[in-house]
Chain A
Amino acid sequence: MAEIRLRNVNKRFGGVQVINDVSLDIADGEFCVFVGPSGCGKSTLLRMVAGLEEITTGELDIGGKRVTRLPPSARGVAMVFQSYALYPHMTVYDNMAFGLQLARTGKPDIDARVRRAADILALGPLLQRLPKELSGGQRQRVAIGRAIVRSPGVFLFDEPLSNLDAALRVQTRIEIAKLHASLRASMIYVTHDQVEAMTLADRIVLLNAGEAMRRDGSIAQVGRPLDLYHRPANLFVAGFIGSPGMNVLPATLAGATPERAELVLRDGTRASARVDATTLPADATVTLGIRPEHVGLAPADGTSALAGRASHVEQLGEASYLYLETPARDGFLTVRQGGDTGVAPGDAVAVTLPEAHCHVFGPDGRAVPRHLTAGPTGRPGSAGVH
C-alpha cells in the first residue's frame, strides 16, 4: 500500500516561497498529475515527495509512514527524470541493474527483474547498448525500466515526454497508461501539458503560480480531468484546461434566479447561463466563459446572436478554428467547428452562446456554480440559443 499524504507542505528557497500550503491525499494505485504553467513549482513538489528537496514546513507520509525527514532511498519511490538521467558509460542492462545493488538482491533475481522489465518495454534487443546508441524514445523507456525493476510503491515522473517528438509522445503516453493499468502502483506525474494531464490522470492537481500561489496557496484545483473541464473553480483553471483556451467575455449581471443568470455583454448583446448567481449582487461585473467547441454558428436569421467578423481561419481537416473580431471583447473570440465551415476571412459571422455551456465567473474570478443537467460527461440538453 502506498498512499501519499501531504499536510500543509511549504517550500522556500532562501526567502522565496515556491510552494504554498499543499495538502493532498493520493490513494494507493492512483495516477495523479501535477500540472501548471512553467515555474509554478511542479518539479519542486515532486522532488519533495522523492526526498531530493527538503520540505521547509509540513509533513509527508507514504504508505502510512512519516517520511518527511527520511532520505529518498527510505521512501520506496522510483523516479523518472526529464533528462532520463541514464549513466552514460553503462549499458542498458547495467543501467537497470545498478539500482538493485543496494537491495541485497541476488544476481539471478536481478537478472530476472531486468529481463522482465525489458520484456514489458520491448528493450530486449537493446540490453547491451550504451545510452548514446539509443534514440530519445528508447532512452526514455530505459529510464522507465530502471524504475520498474525496483518495483516501488510510488512512481514519480518529471515531464518524461517533453524531450520526445509529437508522435512518440502520444505513443509513450499510451504506454505509460498501460503500465499504470498493469502495475497498479501509485504514480505522480508532472507535466506542463494539459493534454497529457487530461489523458493520463485519475486526478489532476492544477498548481497556481506567482501572486495567486501566494494568495490562495499552490493548489488551484484538484479533481478528475472532466471535473476541471466542466467545473473549473476559477478563471485560471478555465483558461489552463482545454485547448484552445476558453473564451472570456466581460459582462454585467442583469438578473439571477437559482436556475439561470441573465447577462448583458459589453456590446449590449444579451446572453444567459445555467448557473446559480443569486449570491452575486445585481449589476455585478462578471465574466462569461465559453469554450471554442461550444460556440455555435447562428442561422442566417439569428436575430439575437453575437455579431462578429472572421479575422482568420485555421483549417485542421477534422475541424476549423475561426478567430472572430467582435465588439463584445478585445482580441479574438475562438470558435471551433467540425469539418470545413466555408467561412472565409472577412466574412461577417454571427455566433450563439448556448446557455447550458456558459460559465460565469464573479468579480473575484471565482466560478459561479453551474447546473449540468446530464452530468459532467453528458451533452447538456438542447442549446438555449438566444
Chain B
Amino acid sequence: MAAVPVACTQDRAPAPPTLAESRVRAAWLFLAPLVVLMVLVAGWPLCRTLWFSLTDADLKDLGAARFVGLDNYTGEFGVLRDPDWWRAVGNTLLFAGVSVAIETLLGLVVALVLDADFPGRSVVRAAVLVPWAIPTVVSAKMWAWMLNDQFGVINHVLMTTHLISQPLAWVADPSLALGSVIAVDVWKATPFMALLILAALQMLPTDCYEAARVDGIHPVTVFVRVTLPLIRPALMVAVIFRALDALRVFDLVYVLTSNSRDTMSMSIYARQQLVDFQQVGLGSAAATVLFGTVALCTALAITLGRVRLEGAAG
C-alpha cells in the first residue's frame, strides 16, 4: 500500500480511517462488554416487565399469560385507577422530597464542620460514614427495635426524661409512621450527602477565603456569596443521586412498616401486587410506571441542572 501513488489510493482503495474514526472505533470496542452486560442484566428484565404489564400473567402460571393491551394501566382494575397506587405515589414523593431536603441541609452542616481543621478530623470523618456503610436491611431492623413501642430504647428514653407520658407507636401510628421512616433515612443518607459536599468544599480555592478575610467580609456573606455558588454543581449532583434513590425506596420501608398503607411506596405497591396478590401483570404495570417516573425525574433534574449551570456561567 505504501508504494501506491497517492492519486491511485484516492481513487481505488478506501481511505484509511482518520484519527477520530479509529478513536471512535476503539471507544465502541471498549464499551462493547458493558453494553452486552447491560442488555443482559437490565435490558432483558426491563423488556420482560414491559411485556408482562401488557398481559394478565399470574405468578402461578406465567406461561398462560394473555395479551390484554393497556388494561393493567387504565382498565377497570388498572394501576392508574387504584386509589392505593396514588396513595403510594403521594407517600413516595413526600418521602423523597422531605428526606432529601433534610439530608441536604444536614449534610451541608456536617460537611462544613468536617471541613474545619480540628484534631482527630480523619477519625471523625470515617466514623460519620458508619450509617452509610451498614446494609439498609440491618440498620432498618436495628431501628425497628429501637422504635418498638413497648421495648424500644427511644420510647424508654423519652419516658424517663418525661418528654412523653405514654409510649408512642412510632411505626404503627399512621400519623407518625412516615415521619419515622424519613428520620431513619436521614440518619442513613446524611453521611453520603456530607461526604459528597465535603469533597466539593475541599476543591474550593483557599486563597479566595484569605482574600475575603483581608477584605473583612462577614463569614455568612462569604458562605452565601462564595461557597454556595461554587459548590452548587456538586450539590446538584448529590441531590439528584439521593432523589433517585429515594423515589425507588423499598427496603427501609418494607423492614420498618411492611405493607402498611400509611407508608407504602411505589416499589412496595408493585411488590405487593406481584408477589402477595400474584398479579404479575398488574405488578409489572406498577413497576413500569415507577420506572417511567424515575426516568422522567432524572431527565428533568439533568435538564434543569444544566439550564441553571449555564445561567450561572452566562
B214 at the interface (CB under 8 A from A): yes
Give Cα distance in the complex from A103 to B216, angstroms. 8
Q: Which residue of A lies closest to B228 (CB)?
A: A89
Is the CB–CB distance between A89 and B216 below 8 Å?
no
Kindly state whether residue B208 has any CB partner on chain A within 8 Å: yes
A88 touches which of B213, B225, B230 (Cβ 8 Å): B230
Determine if B117 is an interface residue (Cβ-Cβ < 8 Å): no
Tell me, yes or no, whether B210 is within 8 Å of chain A by CB: yes
Contact between B211 and A71, CB atoms less than 8 A apart: no
When distances are taken between beta carbons in the complex, the residues of chain B under 8 Å from A74 are 216
- Does chain B have a CB within 8 A of A348? no
Interface-located stretch among A77-85, A229-237, A338-346: A77-85
Question: Do B216 and A73 touch (CB < 8 A)?
Answer: yes
For A72, give the chain B residue with the smallest CB separation. Answer: B214
* Chain B residues positioned under 8 Å from A85 (CB to CB): 205, 207-208, 210-211
Query: Are A83 and B230 neighbours in the complex by a CB distance under 8 Å?
Result: no
Q: Which of these, B205, B210, B215, B312, contacts A99 with CB under 8 Å?
A: B215
Known contacts A89-B312, A98-B225, A130-B313; decide if A72 and B207 are in contact (CB<8 Å): no
Across-interface contacts of A150 in B (CB, < 8 A): 215
A102 with B217: CB separation less than 8 A: yes
Summed over the interface, the residue pairs from A and B with CB atoms below 8 Å come to a total of 64
Q: CA separation between A327 and B211, bound complex, in Å?
A: 54
Expressed in whole angstroms, the Cα–Cα distance for A88 and B217 within the complex equals 17
| Complex contacts, B216 vs chain A, CB 8 Å | 71-74, 99, 102-103
Distance in Å from the Cβ of A271 to the closest Cβ of chain B?
A: 51
Q: For the complex, what is the distance from the CA of A197 to the CA of B111, rounded to whole Å? A: 43
Whether B211 contacts A81 by the Cβ 8 Å rule is: yes
- The reply to whether B214 and A50 contact each other, CB–CB distance below 8 Å, is yes
Q: Which residues of B contact A99 (CB under 8 A)?
A: 211-212, 215-217
Cα A50 to Cα B210 in complex, Å, equals: 10
- Bound Cα distance A71, B217 (Å): 12
B214 touching A98 by the CB < 8 A rule?
Answer: no
Chain B hits for A79, CB < 8 A = 210-211, 214
Q: How far is the CA of A99 from the CA of B210 in the complex (A)?
A: 12
Q: Is the CB of A87 within 8 A of B213?
A: no
Residue on B nearest A52 in the bound complex, by CB: B210
- B221 adjacent to chain A (CB < 8 Å): yes
By the criterion CB–CB under 8 Å, are B213 and A71 in contact? yes
| Interface pair A89/B230, CB less than 8 Å apart | yes
**Is A51 interfacial (CB 8 A cutoff)?**
yes
A52 to B214, Cβ gap below 8 A? yes
Measured CA separation A85–B213 after assembly (Å): 12
Chain B residues near A98 (CB-CB < 8 A) = 212, 215, 217, 225
State the CA gap A102–B211 with chains docked (Å). 13
> A85 to B212, alpha carbons, bound, how many Å?
9
Query: Which residues on the A side are within 8 Å of B215 (C-beta)?
Result: 73, 78, 98-99, 102, 146, 150
Q: Is A356 an interface residue (CB 8 A)?
A: no
Whole-angstrom distance between the Cβ of A235 and the nearest chain B Cβ: 36
- Pair A52/B213 contact, Cβ less than 8 Å: yes
Q: Which residues of A contact B230 (CB under 8 A)?
A: 88-89
A73 to B215 alpha-carbon distance, docked (Å):
6
Whether a CB of chain A sits under 8 angstroms from the CB of B226 is yes
A83 to chain B, nearest CB (A): 5
With an 8 A cutoff between CB atoms, is B218 at the interface? yes
> Which one of B207, B214, B312, B313 has the greatest number of beta carbons of chain A within 10 Å?
B214
Contact of B229 with A by CB under 8 A = yes
The distance in angstroms between the C-alpha atoms of A101 and B225, with both chains bound, is 12
A87 CB contact (under 8 Å) in B210, B218, B226, B312: B226
**Residue of B at shortest CB range from A132?**
B313
Partner of B210, one of A81, A89, A102: A81
* B210 contact set on A, CB distance < 8 A: 52, 79, 81, 85
A81 touches B207 (CB 8 A): yes
For the complex of A and B, the 5 pairs showing the least CB-CB separation, nearest first, are A73-B216, A99-B215, A85-B207, A85-B211, A72-B214
B→A interface (CB under 8 Å): 205, 207-208, 210-218, 221, 225-226, 229-230, 312-313
Q: A50-B214, A99-B215 are in contact. List 4 more A-B contacts (CB 8 A).
A: A51-B213, A71-B213, A89-B226, A99-B216
